[in-house]
Each structure stands twice: as structure tokens, then as C-alpha cells.
């Protein structure tokens, strides 16, 4: 039976960002993530997340594992409340995909081009997103199932 995913955010919704090493993980404190985890690529203003209230950590982990490459390795999941994202001055839009009805995008209202530094205000938002997010490391990379801590506890 398909899961009903509403087209509006409900109160208390949490978002989950797939985290990859090495660049999303704080080198000094590996239990933390860096602001890069919430930064959009050049020419785009969107950072993919999933709506945690309607999906599972295992679904997100499978997505992350499927995206593993020479450049990046799935390392865990970061969760943050939808309300915190909005309160910090960022935005979230629902962007359901056929293969992923839980998909949404965090965005900032600014598109950066190659070599263009982010306005300091945007870096403040990104830094605070990284601070407020709970990072759950993947405790068993060899498993297809999520075996780390309960990500809904944030």
C-alpha cells in the first residue's frame, strides 16, 4: 500500500540529508558535519533532502550507498527539523520524484557561479544548519539496512 505523502509540510517535520565522506565530515570532530553538507552546487540553488516522517533510515541509506563513487562514500544521515531550516532564513520546497515521493529541497534564494564566494549571510545560515543538524554515523557500511542509532530521536 503506497504511503500518503502530503504536499505541504506538517508541524514537527524532520528532514534528512545523506552525508558523504570526506567533505561533509568535520575532520577535527568526526561526530559533526561541515557547512559543505548543506551547500548547493554551482549554478543550482537546491540541496536534496528526504522527509523523514514518511520514509525510513534504511531507504535513505540505500540511496546514499547507490551514490557511492570514487569521490565520495556514504557515511551517515543528518537530520534537522523543517522549522529550524525556515527559522535560519533558508527555504524548503517539496519536490517529489517518481522513484522518491519523500524528496524535498532546501534552497537559499541565491545561485552561485563558479569561483563566486557565497555572501557571508549565506555562510552563516550554512554554518548554523550544520550546527543544528544531528549527525548519525553509519555503523555498518557492509549492511544494506540502517543499523545506526534511531534517527527519529532528534
Partner 1 sequence: MHILDVPYSKSKDLIHQNLMGYVEKLALLQEDWDGYGACAIDKSVVDNTVFIFQKIPNALLEIVGEEGILPTPNGTITIEWHKGSNELMLEVGEKFSTYYIQNNSITQKIENQFIITNSEQMNTFKRELKQYFSE
Sole window of 4-12, 24-32, 99-107, 145-153 interacting with partner 1 (rule: CB under 8 A): 24-32
* Spatial separation of the C-alpha atoms in residues 12 and 124, rounded to whole Å: 23
Strands, sheet with 47-51, edge to edge from the N-terminal-most edge strand: 91-94, 103-107, 47-51, 14-21, 73-81, 134-137
Sole window of 9-17, 18-26, 91-99, 138-146 interacting with partner 1 (rule: CB under 8 A): 18-26
Using CB under 8 A as the binding rule, whether residue 84 contacts partner 1 is answered as no
Using CB under 8 A as the binding rule, whether residue 86 contacts partner 1 is answered as no
Question: What are the C-alpha distances in Å from 118 to residues 37, 80, 106, 140?
Answer: 15, 22, 16, 35
Using CB under 8 A as the binding rule, whether residue 42 contacts partner 1 is answered as yes
The count of residues interacting with partner 1 (CB under 8 A) is 32
Sole window of 4-12, 55-63, 94-102, 118-126 interacting with partner 1 (rule: CB under 8 A): 118-126
Which residues make Cβ contacts (< 8 Å) with residue 29, sequence separation at least 6? none
* Spatial separation of the C-alpha atoms in residues 91 and 93, rounded to whole Å: 7
Q: Which residues bind partner 1 (CB under 8 A)?
A: 20, 22-23, 26-28, 34-36, 39-43, 67, 69-72, 112-121, 123-124, 127
Amino acid at each position: 500500500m503506497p504511503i500518503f505523502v502530503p504536499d505541504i509540510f506538517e508541524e514537527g517535520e524532520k528532514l534528512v540529508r545523506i552525508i558523504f565522506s570526506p567533505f561533509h565530515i568535520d575532520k577535527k570532530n568526526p561526530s559533526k558535519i561541515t557547512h559543505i553538507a548543506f551547500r548547493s552546487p554551482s549554478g543550482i540553488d537546491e540541496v536534496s533532502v528526504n522527509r523523514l516522517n514518511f520514509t525510513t533510515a534504511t531507504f535513505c541509506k540505500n540511496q546514499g550507498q547507490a551514490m557511492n563513487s570514487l569521490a565520495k562514500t556514504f557515511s551517515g544521515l543528518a537530520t534537522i527539523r523543517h522549522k529550524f531550516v525556515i527559522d535560519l532564513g533558508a527555504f524548503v520546497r517539496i519536490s517529489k520524484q517518481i522513484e522518491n515521493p519523500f524528496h524535498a529541497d532546501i534552497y537559499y534564494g541565491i545561485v552561485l557561479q563558479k569561483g563566486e564566494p557565497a555572501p557571508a549571510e549565506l555562510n552563516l545560515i550554512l554554518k548554523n544548519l550544520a550546527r543544528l543538524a544531528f549527525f548519525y554515523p553509519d555503523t555498518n557500511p557492509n549492511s544494506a539496512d540502517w543499523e545506526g542509532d534511531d534517527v527519529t530521536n532528534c
